[in-house]
Amino acid sequence: MSMEIKIREIKEEDVREAANLIVRLKKFNSEHDPLFSLNEKIEESVVSYLKSAIKLETRDAMIAESSNKIVGIVMADVNDRIFYEPLKEVRITELYVLPEFRKGGLGRKLIDAIVEKEKKKGCSVLTVEFPTENLVAHKFYTGLGMRSIISVYGKKIN
């Protein structure tokens, strides 16, 4: 795609449209593992989560926009690393690009934009979280030079 794409911080008026992308991501995750079954209030939960990125100093979201349509989103949290150097990390918690805008470097541009923003907050480590079974995400992030540094295992308890 050779359309002009602008990357910027999310605004209140973007929340509803951006929520659709996050819901699509969560639905994709739910296809990989039953521990990612969506709750019945997924849309409401996502809207609240996105609004927190506007209000909280420790959470941010950037969107990619083309022809006044949101085509990608990245969200990240700033975390303190109290036991390790460097002391602050930026952890990408959500990254989604519409299928027709993939394979052109937009995911990387979204990550670069959020990293630049978070570097100003003292972050000097980049991490990302995604479901283990999401092989598309695994290939994408390892292609960016990232590697596994922590594992989280889970099971449903009764």
Encode pLDDT of 53-97 as tens digits: 999 999 999 999 999 999 999 999 999 999 999 999 999 999 999
Residue showing tokens 């593992």:
33
Cα–Cα dist 64/33, whole Å:
28
Cα–Cα dist 72/21, whole Å:
7
Q: What is the CATH number of the domain that holds 37?
A: 3.40.630.30
Average pLDDT over residues 140-150: 95
**Residue 86 covered by a domain:** yes
Residue showing tokens 């992308």:
21
**Residue 108 covered by a domain:** yes
**Residue 158 covered by a domain:** no
Model confidence band, residue 158 (pLDDT cutoffs 50, 70, 90): confident
> Which pTM was predicted?
0.92
- Please give the pLDDT value at position 2: 53
**Residue 110 covered by a domain:** yes
Domain that holds residue 107: 6-143
The helix (H) or strand (E) run that includes residue 69 is strand 69-80
Model confidence band, residue 1 (pLDDT cutoffs 50, 70, 90): very low
- Please give the pLDDT value at position 3: 75
3-state secondary structure of 53: helix
**Residue 74 covered by a domain:** yes
Encode pLDDT of 83-134 as tens digits: 999 999 999 999 999 999 999 999 999 999 999 999 999 999 999 999 998 8
**Count of domains for the chain:** 1
- Please give the pLDDT value at position 144: 95
**Residue 155 covered by a domain:** no
**Any residues with CB less than 8 A from the CB of 99 and at least 6 apart, and which?**
none
DSSP codes of every residue in 70-107: EEEEEEEEEEE-TTSSSSEEEEEEEEEE-GGGTTSSHH
| Cis preceding-peptide flag for 86 (omega within 30 of 0) | yes
**Residue 150 covered by a domain:** no
**Residue 69 covered by a domain:** yes
Model confidence band, residue 47 (pLDDT cutoffs 50, 70, 90): very high
